[in-house]
Amino acid sequence: MEVYFLGTNAGIPTLQRNVTSVVLRLLEERRSFWMFDCGEGTQHQVLRSPLRLGKLEKIFITHLHGDHLFGLPGLLSSRGYQGGTAPLTVYGPPGLKAYLEVSLAVSQSRIPYKLEVVEHAGGLIFEDDCFKVEAGLLEHRIDSYGYRVTEKDSPGSLNTELIRSYGLKPGPLYGKLKKGEDVTTEEGVTIIAADVISEPKRGRVVTLLGDTRPCAGSLPLAREADLVIHEATFGHDLAEMAYQYHHSTARQAAELAKEAGALQLLLTHFSSRYSSGEELEPLREEAAAIFPQTLLAAEFCTFPVVRRRSGH
């Protein structure tokens, strides 16, 4: 599981950065990737990346402002031309379905795969055997949502060397042990499953927050997350402007990460006033003074989602 950025700018694209789009790569877990927001030009960013739209399984839209949405119709259309035939689900606030229906119909775009649009108002919006995704309302000029992606715990591994020491050869009884069932060998030796299975592997949690002021809705989504991706549109010297425009500062993002007990913080959604990496570094320093495990997002860069150790 790793995060890959296609766009890290706020509002409008610049020559240095494109508008918002974040990818959660799940190649080992699902052989696919999920996308969060799809600003204008995202499909061009995909062409410059190692991503293939045929592997895109889900898209989550945080809110319906253009810098998070205008790239969606074109990307959906291009996916079909690039060999994407598997079903695709798009999640987002009410109004998303109408936007896509009109855009695709007026442009006579042909979608040669099953496209499902799921509008939501928060809560649990997806769950299967491996993952669940929850959404929560934030505080912005329009309804804006954050998403909490939870990887479910995976069973512990069998200690095959220890099992063989009991004289048990690989076979059906291994499967029972894996399920947590005690077994008895032909020689009458009982093997306790708990003695030969390691602790379950804790699933990781990734929180991706849409545009927002500091608000109560952010904390439940970020609680004990392994990675929090938070907007840092401005430095804290512009806190009043951030509030007026319903955005956050780097310091405010760090305060949330600290309060939530997160493991790592990634800052993104930077104002165009910060045109270079050197100008962005003070934002990281501002946040790191409160939450040291802070990094700056960068386009076409991969950030592994580190698994929290037991007891941390």
Residues making up the annotated binding site for Zn(2+) are 63, 65, 67-68, 140, 211, 269
Residues 103 and 77: beta-carbon distance below 8 Å: no
From the candidates 67, 128, 129, 195, give the one annotated as an active-site residue: 67
Which amino acid, residue 275? S
Q: Which residues are annotated as a binding site?
A: 63, 65, 67-68, 140, 211, 269
> Two tokens at 226?
């392994």
Q: Is the dihedral angle over the CA atoms 88, 93, 98, 104 positive or is it negative?
A: negative
Active site residue 67: yes
> Known catalytic residues?
67
